[in-house]
Amino acid sequence: MKTNFALYGVALLLVQALAACGSSPVTVPKEETAQNAPAKAEAIQYDKLIVAFGDSLYAGYRLGPTEGLAPQLQVALEKAGIKARVHNAGVSGDTTAAGKQRLTFVLDNLEKKPDLVVLGLGGNDMLRGIQPKETEANLKAMLDELKKRDIDVVLTGMLAAPNLGPDYANAFNPIFPKLAKQYGAPLYPFFLDGVVADPKLMLPDNIHPNAQGVAKVVDGLAPLVEKALQP
């Protein structure tokens, strides 16, 4: 996938956005949980349970009840004839370390074992300049936990902002393809591919997608999820 980094390489905006994205490692902000839980999910009969486990890109930062990744992905799957509930387990500000801490809690408190986890963390690690080897180790720990529980995974990747320099990019960018290959997980290489460089698809912070941006992400991601759900 080709990516235009014209808007992605704005260092100050990226770093300043960390404060806006929050930092809680375990507790999902009430407003984000309410905004992105699919409407009347409890009343919907479903065959598959999918967990969208990530950071603010998954949580639906500043989006409405039907606009985040979880509800839009659920609708896309319904249109494809798949009765699924997509559980929003996105927490704004989460690093891979925070995600590793809360993964077992999330899995243990679901109504049943999920059929699939869509895993997307690492963006906040990159923004904070966390060493890529730590990011990789944390992602690997989460993938090991999911493998132990025999839960399939679709992995969504992240790319280092150009302002971090080639050394960081060369260490960070290969993490996701490497782990996807190692664990046999389908990979959506860059979550914001085709979105981050288009102002019409981004919120004013130029970091998070708006509803239309999420729709474009879902257009690319949904086929991977559909295939992963096949017997």
Which tokens is 117 given?
A: 């986890």
Q: Is-catalytic flag, 205?
A: yes
Among 56, 87, 92, 125, the active-site one is 56
CB 115 within 8 A of CB 50: yes
Phi, psi of 120 (to 5 degrees): -145, 90
Residue bearing tokens 């997608």: 209
- Is 92 noted as a catalytic residue in this protein? no
Active site residue 87: no
Token reading at 13: 């905006």
The region, left, alpha or beta by phi > 0 then psi within -120 to 50, assigned to residue 71 is alpha
Q: What whole-number distance in Å separates Cα of residue 68 and Cα of residue 131?
A: 29
Measured between alpha carbons, how far is 151 from 40 in angstroms, rounded to an integer? 26
Q: Which of 152, 198, 208, 219 is catalytic?
A: 208
Task: Compute CA distances 217 → 68, 211, 214, whole Å.
Answer: 10, 10, 5
Spatial separation of the C-alpha atoms in residues 180 and 157, rounded to whole Å: 9
CB neighbours of 95 closer than 8 A, spacing ≥ 6? 25, 55, 121, 124, 125, 128, 130, 138
Which residues are known catalytic residues? Answer: 56, 205, 208
